[in-house]
Structure 1
Amino acid sequence: MSARRRLGARWRRHRPLRTRLAVAASGAVAVVVLGVSTAAFFVIHYELYHQLDLNLTQSATLAIQQNRGARPSVLAGECRFLSAPACAQIVPADPAKDAHERYLLPVGPPVRAVASGAHTPYFSNITLPEGKPARMLTTPFGGGKSLQVALRSDSVQKGVGQAAWLLGAVGAAGVLFAAGLGYWVSRTGLAPLARLTATAEHIAATRDPSHRIELPPGPSGKEDEVIRLAVSFNTMLGELEQSVTAQRRLVADASHELRTPLTALRTNAELLARADRLTAAQRDRASGALGRQIREVSVLVNDLIDLARDEEPTPLLEEVRLAPLLAHTVDTARAHWPATPFRLELADASATLPGVPARLARLISNLLDNAAKFSPVGAPVEVTLLAGELTVRDHGPGIAEADLPHVFDRFYRAERARALPGSGLGLAMARQIARAHGAEVSAHAAPGGGALFRVVLPDAYPPTRP
């Protein structure tokens, strides 16, 4: 890498984006101003000298008309600006013919060549004997002679110089104005980025994702890339805030639910550690309680792991036939709840759903366990598979109106269910599995008493992450 590239890379690393944009904008304007000023200078230079050349041509024409047949000599020796004939002289092609003539204007080989016809007419810049600048035209006079006509050009040079200074001043002012304007535009245009950076730094320092970037009012910024970036960042912050809130709530609820069984486990374990002081019946009760509490903790931990499956990769899907899966799950529930009769009705035995069989079985199992837990002894649990819908109904006490909106919340347990076993995660997991398969589960008060859970199957399966 060359030294220039290393210097440029180091400058980009140590200069903020706002400064780089302002410098880039100023540089672009400076190049344009320099180009326009240079072009204007050459246009002015050309026009002024072109006008002077036209005057010289007119003076030469007039001198030829007025001095036809004149011998080599100085026709006029007073050089003035824009005056005719002004500093005119006739020079022969043969230097021997003007040996005794003293010329005012410089005579060189090109002048003799024009007189002999070997050279075309030409313009040149000269300095007069008194030190004044002049513009001279050398053109054929006829008869082997050439005519030299000169006009002072100091006024033209002064005008060109003034134009150069004026254009330079205007260009410098334009560059300064462009620099200020570029800095203002960079500050204004990158203001959302500055707010985004400040918000990100604040969130990193406080770990609080509730802050948002302030956006300009109205729909004017919909097409602005920076505003769209700020909107996208706010959306990301909203999702992050929901995720962090849900994570904190899950951790708080899980710690609360684990505290009681872990305390009971420790108590029974300490009690069994002193088994020599207990009777056989006391040891049996403590051992049975310890086994039940271990199972409850295991179920709770497994449910928490299943609820965290949203963060796992999507497993392989297959076309699941719901009727056999439902029949198998109901048979398993009958073995687990022998005192509860389960009635299965398959009105649509051909229904299929792309998904994960184990997750769908867990969804149905959680609904069946919930229904059996609240059903009186001998009261049936009715399971029906209809076209596009699965229902599970029990004949228990039902769900209170105030509890209906919360039955699928994690760790939520109605007042009448707090004395029953369970972690309060079964229905939350059922809803998560249903939504992952494009379905929706809802709870209702059944006609005549009891609770009714309805799983509406998707018409066209849009899997998310089962």
Structure 2
Amino acid sequence: MSGGRRRRALGARWRRHRPLRTRLALSASAAVALVAIGICTAAYFVIRYEMYHQLDLNLTQSATRLVQSDRHPATGVLSGECRYLSAPACAQVVPSDPAEDPRERYVLPVSPPVREVASGQRAPYFSNFTYEGHPARLAVTPIGGGRALELALRADSVERGIRQAALLLSAVGAAGVLLAAALGYWVSRTGLAPVARLTATAERIAATRDPRHRIELPPGPPSREDEVTRLATSFNTMLGELEQSVSAQRRLVADASHELRTPLTALRTNAELLARADRLSPEQRDRASGALGRQLREVTGLVNDLIELARDEEPQPLLEEVRPAALVEHAVAAAAAHWPATPFPLHVAPEAVPVTLPGVPARLTRLLTNLLDNAAKFSPPKAPVEVELVVSGAHLEFTVRDHGPGIAPGDLPYVFDRFYRAEAARALPGSGLGLAMARQIARAHGAELTAEQAPGGGALFRLRFGERTHE
């Protein structure tokens, strides 16, 4: 394994085995520590540069005064504290040609770059050197006539100041690293506190299987929420939806068991009667057999409805373009055959005849049939169930109106709930699933199904589809 792959593997293993809080604390600490060290390092170089710059200015000023005074010899050492290289600066003149050197020994070092400055081949420069074990600073500048002027000063104070600055900045950097570690720990604790609460809530829900728990949110207006708070808010919203789903599932199971208990009891009774068929008359056997068949069909329909509603969403078979007008006519004809005592006057607006909509014909027929059956069940004998299909603005609207007792205001919000039975419907046949299934099919087709009190009495169901299209 190459070095890069090995480092990546070690990094991935470290991330897996370290909690997020530790990684965040280390990352924040490292970032602040790097900034503190970087600032201290930059400050060190700035201080070093400024101190040497001041020393260079002193040397430059001394060289200028010497050149302007014109008191320097052709070559050789000038006056100055050359023994200790203290102020005033030690100075000497060096020719470009070594043959012109004086007999006296030079005090300051003479190197080829100095000769080059004297001959004009090189610009003036500054350099560091050691004089009798002490640090010193050297300035070399041309003075004309093929000569260069060297000036030197001891740099002990400068070096001492730089060392003191380095020690002070090192102490400051170490304090910055410690402060960074403390800040990283504080940031990890405060920044990940909502995440810790979220994790604790999730673990508590997993242990108790109770979605009623919520994450405590910090006080403050919603506009000032940070990303973690928004995550906690979204998690609370998800928990609310989960709680509603679990409650709906429990209600569905409880209502289904309640609705199935009565027909199953009747089935068992009729089956026990038919088991003793030798003791029954032919009329009793036919009556029990017919009741058993009706109850089987009722239970089969109830179970099928429960299976479809328990999916909590409409299945998505292939859609096709359907003519609502033809579907309404077919559903009304089937309802009239099923409810011979109830007239179904139908009005289809001419502009609604060519309208087509994307949908599933079998599901839409089931929706219309449920609405018509519900209206006929509540209508008095011979009372009409009025059906209309019209175009209202950009929408296609289907309405069913009966002349029964209507819907009480307290029942209106619940008429589309599963297994809901109003007081007036408790004695009527049915499972309370027809309208719930109708609403589910309507939503799957992008339609809106509503119920209201009809003017003059009775109930009015209104089914409004989306944008219509024409062939």
For the residue of structure 2 that corresponds to 1:2, the secondary structure is: helix
What amino acid sits opposite 2:9 in the alignment?
A: R
Could you report, residue by residue, the CA deviation over 1:143-175 in whole angstroms, capped at 9, with x for unpaired residues?
Answer: 998765432211110011111122222233333
Taking every aligned residue pair, what percent have the same amino acid on both sides? 66
What amino acid sits opposite 2:277 in the alignment?
A: A
* Structure 2 residue aligned with 1:23: 26
For the residue of structure 1 that corresponds to 2:261, the secondary structure is: helix
Match for residue 168 of structure 1 among 170, 187, 196: 170
* Structure 1 residue aligned with 2:49: 46
| Maintained 8 Å contact 2:386/2:400 | yes
What amino acid sits opposite 1:408 in the alignment?
A: F
Match for residue 429 of structure 2 among 421, 435, 438: 421
For the residue of structure 2 that corresponds to 1:208, the secondary structure is: coil
CA distance in 2, matches of 1:287, 1:70: 142
| Maintained 8 Å contact 1:322/1:349 | no
CA distance in 2, matches of 1:370, 1:112: 113
CA distance in 2, matches of 1:364, 1:220: 45
* Structure 2 residue aligned with 1:441: 450
Change (3 A) 1:358 1:56: same
Change (3 A) 1:407 1:34: closer
Match for residue 453 of structure 1 among 450, 460, 467: 460
What amino acid sits opposite 1:343 in the alignment?
A: F
CA distance in 2, matches of 1:18, 1:191: 10
| Maintained 8 Å contact 1:258/1:297 | yes
TM-score (norm 2): 0.81
| Maintained 8 Å contact 1:135/1:150 | yes
Matches for 1:124-135 after TM superposition, within 5 Å: 124-129=127-132, 131-135=133-137
Change (3 A) 1:125 1:390: closer
* Structure 2 residue aligned with 1:219: 221
| Maintained 8 Å contact 1:323/1:346 | no
Matches for 1:20-169 after TM superposition, within 5 Å: 20-59=23-62, 68-69=72-73, 72=76, 75-76=79-80, 79-80=83-84, 83-85=87-89, 87-88=90-91, 93-94=98-99, 98=103, 105=107, 107=109, 110=112, 113=115, 117=119, 123-129=126-132, 131-137=133-139, 149-169=151-171
For the residue of structure 1 that corresponds to 2:453, the secondary structure is: strand
CA distance in 1, matches of 2:462, 2:366: 13
* Structure 2 residue aligned with 1:432: 440
What amino acid sits opposite 2:449 in the alignment?
A: E
What amino acid sits opposite 1:251 in the alignment?
A: V
Change (3 A) 1:280 1:149: same
For the residue of structure 2 that corresponds to 1:325, the secondary structure is: helix
C-alpha deviation, 1:77, in angstroms: 5.1
| Maintained 8 Å contact 1:55/1:82 | no
Pick which of 40-49 and 64-73 moved more: 64-73
Match for residue 382 of structure 1 among 378, 386, 390: 386
* Structure 1 residue aligned with 2:342: 341
Matches for 1:282-293 after TM superposition, within 5 Å: 282-293=284-295
Unpaired segments of 5 or more residues in structure 2? Answer: none
| Maintained 8 Å contact 1:391/1:452 | no
CA distance in 1, matches of 2:142, 2:405: 127
Match for residue 178 of structure 1 among 169, 175, 180: 180
| Maintained 8 Å contact 2:342/2:383 | yes
C-alpha deviation, 1:411, in angstroms: 1.1
| Maintained 8 Å contact 2:75/2:92 | no
| Maintained 8 Å contact 2:108/2:150 | no
Could you report, residue by residue, the CA deviation over 1:229-265 in whole angstroms, capped at 9, with x for unpaired residues?
Answer: 3333333333222222222211111111112212322
CA distance in 1, matches of 2:325, 2:278: 54
* Structure 2 residue aligned with 1:12: 15
For the residue of structure 2 that corresponds to 1:253, the secondary structure is: helix
User: What's the Cα RMSD here?
Assistant: 3.6
What amino acid sits opposite 1:342 in the alignment?
A: P
| Maintained 8 Å contact 2:324/2:356 | yes
C-alpha deviation, 1:442, in angstroms: 0.5
| Maintained 8 Å contact 1:347/1:387 | no
TM-score (norm 1): 0.82
* Structure 2 residue aligned with 1:370: 374
C-alpha deviation, 1:6, in angstroms: 1.7
| Maintained 8 Å contact 1:372/1:394 | yes
| Maintained 8 Å contact 1:22/1:179 | yes
Query: May I ask how many residue pairs the two structures share in their alignment?
Result: 454
